[in-house]
Amino acid sequence: MELLDYSSLNIWKERRSWINNELENADLGSSSVSDHSVTLFMDMQIAFCSGAWISFVIMSISVIDSHLRETEASDNKIGTAKLLNEYYTGEDISCLRQLRNQYVHHNLERPIFNMNYWFNNQYEMEENARKAMRMTISVFWQSWGT
């Protein structure tokens, strides 16, 4: 398989099935979910099924941020770190936010990426993406009856 080839249909279906299982096993109740966040979440799932792990992790924080701003904080000006600390009730999300920041903000003294990072870290990146998916799913239903 070439570097920029699309995933096989079987891999796509396995990843799609994993997402469906996570959604089915989530403790889903009634919740207010914004159209904006759901639209981002739909696109995020395509990134997951495609194996675009870096893009997926970056997107997951954006989806969580969007959802919490509209449904919990009702505040467009609050910083993401403060928003997550005050309104996210799931497992510790700081590691996910820090990973996202490492991906987005290049550190000249300690760069995260080297020439073979993408090739050598597929398993780790996929595990981070799975954790990010679980966190994203949980945030959508953290406020019952809203």
Predicted confidence (pLDDT) per residue in 33-65, tens digit:
778 888 999 999 999 999 999 999 999 999 998
Alpha-carbon gap, residue 98 to 27, rounded angstroms: 26
Burial of 60 from C-beta contacts in 10 A (0-12 / 13-18 / 19+) = buried
Closest CA to 69 of 102, 105, 33: 33
* Of the candidate ranges 28-37, 97-106, 117-126, 131-140, the one whose mean pLDDT is the lowest: 28-37
Domain residue extents for the chain: 33-140
Please answer whether residues 66 and 81 qualify as being in contact, where contact means their C-beta atoms are separated by less than 8 angstroms: no
- In percent, the amount of the chain with pLDDT more than 70 equals 90
- In percent, the amount of the chain with pLDDT more than 90 equals 40
Alpha-carbon gap, residue 66 to 59, rounded angstroms: 10
Query: How much is the pLDDT for 105?
Result: 92
